[in-house]
Amino acid sequence: MKLLPRVASASLAALLLFVAGCGTDGGVAAANPAIPIPASTAQLRPGDSLTIALLGVPDPTTNAVQIDDQGLISLPYVGALMAAGVSTAELSQRIRETYVAKKIYTVVDVSVSVTERYVYVGGEVQHPGRIIWTPDLSAAKAIQSAGGFTLYAKETAVSLVREKSAYTIDVKLAQKNPTQDPRLMPGDSLQVSRSPF
C-alpha cells in the first residue's frame, strides 16, 4: 500500500517536468510583431523612379528621374525640387507652379507617374539586391525573389527596416503561416543575418 503514493508522486513529478519542457522548447511559436503600415503608400519616397512629362509647351519633354536620398529630383531649368512625402498629383502641381513662378512657361501641363518602386534584401540570401515592389510583396516572397536563404542564414531573425524603425521577423514561421508574413512597403529593407551555427 505504501508503494502506490510513491508511484503517484513520481508520475506527477514526471508530468510536471514534461509540461515545463514543452513550454521552453517545443511550445507554440511566438507571433511576428505587428508592423505599422505608413498612412499612405501613395506618397513618393527616396528610391522611387518617376516619369515626368511636360506637355502643352513649345518644347514638350519627358524626363526619367529617381528620387535621391534627400528626397529630391532634378528637372531642366528649375533644378532640384522636393518630391518625397507627397503624392504624384501634389508633385505635378508643385512642378507646374515652379515652372510658372520662374517664368519659364506661362502654361504647362505636368504628368507624373511612378515607373518602379523597390525593396532591398541583403545579407544571407542567394542574390542580395533590390527587388521591384508590388502591392502583394511580403517578407517571405521577397526572400524567395532573392533566391532564398543561404546555408548559413538565420531564418528566424530577419531584420525589417521601415522608416527608421527595425523589426525582427521569423520568416520560417511566415512561410508556414501566411497570416504571420508581413506585407512590405516601398523602400523597406530586409537584412538576413548569419546564424552562429
- Asked if 116 contacts 51 with a C-beta cutoff of 8 angstroms, the reply is no
- Look up residue 187 and give its three cell numbers: 523602400
Q: Band of the pLDDT at 41, cuts 50, 70, 90? A: low
On whether the 49-116 domain is CATH 3.30.1950.10, my answer is yes
C-alpha closest to that of 114 among 40, 36, 37, 186:
186
* Alpha carbons 27 and 29: distance in angstroms, whole number: 6
Tens-place pLDDT, residues 140-193? 999 999 999 999 999 999 999 987 889 999 999 999 999 999 999 888 999 999
* Alpha carbons 194 and 154: distance in angstroms, whole number: 5
What number of other Cβ atoms are within 10 A of residue 74's Cβ? Answer: 13
Strands in 31-184 per DSSP E: 49-55, 61-66, 72-75, 79-82, 109-116, 118-123, 129-132, 153-162, 165-169
Tens-place pLDDT, residues 70-93? 999 999 899 999 999 899 999 999
CATH topology of domain 118-194: Outer membrane lipoprotein wza fold like (3.10.560)
C-alpha closest to that of 40 among 94, 103, 86:
86
Tens-place pLDDT, residues 118-146? 899 999 999 999 999 988 999 999 999 99
Q: What is the mean pLDDT of the chain?
A: 84
Q: What pLDDT sits at residue 187?
A: 84
* Alpha carbons 180 and 175: distance in angstroms, whole number: 8
Q: The pTM is what?
A: 0.65
Query: Range(s) for CATH 3.10.560.10 in the chain?
Result: 118-194
- Asked if 154 contacts 194 with a C-beta cutoff of 8 angstroms, the reply is yes
- Look up residue 87 and give its three cell numbers: 503624392
C-alpha closest to that of 112 among 132, 133, 87:
87
- Look up residue 128 and give its three cell numbers: 542580395
Query: Range(s) for CATH 3.30.1950.10 in the chain?
Result: 49-116
